[in-house]
Amino acid sequence: MSFKTENYTKKAGKPGYGGRELIACDCWFTSSGGMQPRFLKWQSPDGEIHTVPVHTFLPLEDEHFAGRTQKVFFCTAEQNGTAVYFKLYYNVGECRWKMEWVKNS
């Protein structure tokens, strides 16, 4: 039996692919163990750093891959007067955040 792993960060630069990008995220950890993302920072391909406040978020079910747990959030934010949708992934073991843009329908 073999397993294939993909490096999502390498595909993130392709327009329209929807790959995952490494980001910095400010998150509030509640006393009851909950998580509330407040804003995030990401770097565009041209090197500019963007700060995006998270307006609403919806915690989704945790994902488990090869024994690794990821917390997943579906979020909305406003950028240039337009609502944008994205998913945030928090890797518990590595303490890393990744973001995946979701296309507006």
Interval 28-81: pLDDT, tens? 989 998 899 999 998 888 999 989 899 888 988 888 888 888 999 999 988 788
Residue 13 scores a pLDDT above 60 = no
More confident call, 10 vs 45: 45
Write b or e for each residue in 37-72: b if 16 or more Cβ atoms lie within 10 A of its Cβ, otherwise e: beebebeeeeeeeeebebeebeeeeeeeeeeeebbe
pTM: 0.75
pLDDT at 78: 86
